[in-house]
Amino acid sequence: MRHLKSSAGEGGAHPVTGGAAPATHRQWETLRTFLPYLWPVGRVDLKARVIIAMVLLIASKVVTVYVPFLYRDATNLLSPKSAAGAVIAVPVMLIIAYGVGRILMVLLGQIRDGVFAKVSQNAVRALALKTFRHLHALSLRFHLERRTGGLSRVIERGTKAIDLLLRFSLFNIIPTIIELALVAVIFTWAFNIWFTLVTAITILVYIAFTFSVTEWRTRFHRQMNTLDTEANTKAIDSLLNFETVKYFGNEEHEARRFDRSMEGYERAAVKTTTSLSILNAGQTAIFTTGLTILMLMAGQGVADGTMTIGDFVMVNAYLIQLYQPLNLLGTVYREIRQALIDMETMFDLLEVPGEVRDAPDARPLGVRGGEIVFENVSFAYDKDRGILDNVSFRVPAGRTLAIVGPSGAGKSTISRILFRFYDIAAGRVLVDGQDIREVTQASLRAAVGMVPQDTVLFNDTIRYNIRYGRPDATDADVAAAAEQAQIAAFIARLPKGYDTAVGERGLKLSGGEKQRVAIARTILKNPPILILDEATSALDTHTEKEIQAALKRVSQDRTTLIIAHRLSTVIDADEIIVLDHGRIAERGRHEELLALGGRYAAMWNRQREADAAREKLKETLEDASPAERASGSFEMAGKG
């Protein structure tokens, strides 16, 4: 298995890992990994297409090398030494045959491409789907440490590379090799070994020059790709945070960041274009020199009487015919190398191990009531950052537990552990007596519903986002969930109703509207275990009370875990635990914790004072005159 590197290389950073560009032997390994996709197991139809395409390829090359013979014979018959009677009839047939041959050369190639298209596109689809599924199977830690723009670029390049590799290798390199071999045999048989040797030396020098210059140019392409990925990542990151950019007026700052990447890309692109001129000039000089030598040899043969005028033009025809694919050799070589690099990068992505995996004998979670038990759980995101320290609690089936505490205490981490986004360092987490590490992740997550603090919606309709909780739900089910989440009336007022698009990440909706869509989505999922992670944090006081009432109805007969900052939302919980620095500092019901006079009571008093100050300020604002509001004197009154 190949291992991901962490250090940057001179030729440009790895688009996913930040490591150096892959080595040549790794590219051959990538090619071997890819080849089975062209001969897929159980797909007799695709295997038949591969065989037919190869037969058509060979047939096309046979026609290609035979066409110059027709050209030679027609030329000989048109020469002054030919019989007068043959000049009119026979060359016409040869010329027609020559034209038909030229058509067949192209026609067979096009049919070959059409036959093979399903094979190549099936390979593209299979690899793209495998990569997409693998990305969703990777841990949350991986996605938090990677940039979405860079990942999307890797997948985009990788899938395009498959098509490029097939097009250039199977239908350019291999046909050219076949044609070169046939021409060598023909030159040796029809003329002499010297024609073959001169042709071989010309081609070898041509290839060596092309490969060496292309290797030099590849550095610039790698730089272009690295800077292109960087620019794309910055652009996506900036556009996803469009509102933040506007809040701080940093449009020019973002433009400068983007332009710095594009400036480097521009320099690399200029070097690429300049080096291409050197490549083209050198190729032309080498090939023309070889062609000139062969034409001189053929001319001498005509003068000596050992060759005909037709032989002379046939030599020229073969060399000109070879020049077209050889002229593309630099591009083909570079594209194949780059395709292998891009594919290797995608395969590296496929080899990133999943941090959280199902056990080999994992079984589906059997939910009876939904009891949750955390038993001496310790967890750290990394060894230097401990989050939970020997945390134990039990949520009986159908009961509600609230977790409160300051920011960074580990509240949201508990929900991520319950979803098994991470595996714990010590202890056990049980659902109805079953260790969550011994059940399948799919069955565990199907049993748990989440209303997160930061709601992110898909760039689709409201209907789609609610239905995401249960994709097979009917429109009536969607409407019922919206009603329970107190958002149905809002949707009804929209011109397109449930078909209203919510925009990128739901930016067309307010925070409260997004939160209620998330609640409706979870209601539709109808899980036996419910997690509310600051579920009403984005709502005003009036709406919060409505949603709390709805959530109270929804959480009936469900095991509910509430992660809260606003303590007013947890006063009815069956038990409240107070986390502090990853440990349980206090636990009990609301009244018990207030009577204790500890951390919970202090938090409660601070929030009551803050709420009272807000209410007083609101009343002062309502009573203030327009002039006082304009001058801001009401603030002093409120403070007084």
Per-residue pLDDT tens digits for 319-343: 888 877 777 776 777 777 777 777 7
Q: Quick: pLDDT tens for 233-260.
A: 888 888 878 878 887 888 888 888 888 8
18 or 234: which carries more pLDDT confidence?
Answer: 234
Helix (H, G, I), strand (E, B) or coil at 247: helix
**Closest to 490 (Cα-Cα) out of 516, 460, 451, 467:** 516
103 or 321: which carries more pLDDT confidence?
Answer: 103
Q: Quick: pLDDT tens for 560-591.
A: 998 887 787 888 889 999 998 888 999 999 99
What confidence score (pLDDT) does residue 372 get? Answer: 92
Q: Is the per-residue pLDDT at 91 higher than 80? A: no
Spell out the long-range contacts of 117-121 with Cβ–Cβ below 8 A and sequence spacing 24 or more: 118/46, 118/49, 119/38, 119/46, 119/49, 119/50, 119/53, 120/38, 120/162, 120/163, 120/166, 120/167, 121/163
401 or 611: which carries more pLDDT confidence?
Answer: 401
For residues 552 and 572, give the distance between their C-alpha atoms in angstroms, rounded to a whole number: 9
What confidence score (pLDDT) does residue 376 get? Answer: 92
Point out the least confidently predicted range of 43-57, 134-148, 186-200.
134-148
How many CA within 13 A on the CB side of residue 536?
A: 22
For residues 234 and 508, give the distance between their C-alpha atoms in angstroms, rounded to a whole number: 23
Give mean pLDDT, residues 186-194: 85
Which two three-digit tokens encode residue 526? 């109808």
Q: Is the per-residue pLDDT at 633 higher than 70? A: no
Give the mean pLDDT of the chain: 79
What confidence score (pLDDT) does residue 393 get? Answer: 92
Helix (H, G, I), strand (E, B) or coil at 395: strand
User: What is the maximum span of the chain, computed from C-alpha positions, in angstroms?
Assistant: 124
- 380, β-bridge pairs: 386
Q: Is 330 exposed, middle or buried (0-12, 13-18, 19+ CB in 10 A)?
A: buried
322 membership: H or E segment, kind and range:
helix 309-327
For residues 389 and 233, give the distance between their C-alpha atoms in angstroms, rounded to a whole number: 37
Point out the least confidently predicted range of 244-253, 288-297, 614-623.
614-623
216 or 83: which carries more pLDDT confidence?
Answer: 216
Which two three-digit tokens encode residue 408? 């960074």
Q: Is 437 exposed, middle or buried (0-12, 13-18, 19+ CB in 10 A)?
A: middle
Please state, for a pLDDT cut of 70, what percent of the chain lies above it: 83
Q: Are 178 and 321 in contact (CB under 8 A)?
A: no
Give mean pLDDT, residues 435-462: 86
Strand order of the β-sheet with 434-435 is 385-395, 372-382, 426-431, 434-435
Which two three-digit tokens encode residue 197? 């040797």
Give CATH superfamily name and number for 24-350: ABC transporter type 1, transmembrane domain (1.20.1560.10)
Give mean pLDDT, residues 70-97: 66
Spell out the long-range contacts of 566-569 with Cβ–Cβ below 8 A and sequence spacing 24 or more: 566/534, 566/536, 566/537, 566/607, 567/404, 567/600, 567/603, 567/604, 567/607, 568/607, 569/402, 569/535, 569/536, 569/544
Q: Is the per-residue pLDDT at 425 higher than 50? A: yes
DSSP string, 465-483: HHHTTSTT--HHHHHHHHH
What's the CATH number for 372-596? 3.40.50.300
What confidence score (pLDDT) does residue 577 get? Answer: 92
How many CA within 13 A on the CB side of residue 64?
A: 27
Q: Which residues contact 413 (CB under 8 A, 6 or more apart)?
A: 379, 387, 388
400 membership: H or E segment, kind and range:
strand 400-404
Residue with tokens 């604002």: 621
The residues spanned by each domain of the chain are 24-350, 372-596, 597-640
Helix, strand, coil percentages in the chain from 3-state DSSP, rounded to 5: 65, 10, 25
What confidence score (pLDDT) does residue 27 get? Answer: 60
- Its pTM stands at 0.62
CA dist list (Å): 135 to 226, 326, 350, 358, 437: 21, 40, 8, 16, 21
For residues 470 and 179, give the distance between their C-alpha atoms in angstroms, rounded to a whole number: 58
Q: Are 606 and 565 in contact (CB under 8 A)?
A: no
373 — pLDDT class (breaks 50, 70, 90)? very high
Q: Is the per-residue pLDDT at 544 higher than 80? A: no
Angle at 16 between CA 14 and CA 20, to 5 degrees: 20
Please state, for a pLDDT cut of 90, what percent of the chain lies above it: 7
For residues 625 and 627, give the distance between their C-alpha atoms in angstroms, rounded to a whole number: 5
Backbone angles phi, psi at 429, to 5 degrees: -120, 125
30 — pLDDT class (breaks 50, 70, 90)? low
10 — pLDDT class (breaks 50, 70, 90)? very low
Handedness of CA 68, 71, 76, 80 (dihedral sign): negative
Point out the least confidently predicted range of 126-140, 248-262, 286-300, 378-392.
126-140
CA dist list (Å): 532 to 394, 559, 569, 577: 17, 11, 11, 15
What confidence score (pLDDT) does residue 543 get? Answer: 63
Amino acid at 65: V
Residue with tokens 């991520």: 416
What confidence score (pLDDT) does residue 22 get? Answer: 43
Q: Is the per-residue pLDDT at 8 higher than 50? A: no
What confidence score (pLDDT) does residue 449 get? Answer: 87
Q: How many beta carbons lie within 10 A of that of residue 335, not counting itself?
A: 20
Beta strand pairing status for 583-588 and 575-580? antiparallel
For residues 121 and 633, give the distance between their C-alpha atoms in angstroms, rounded to a whole number: 70
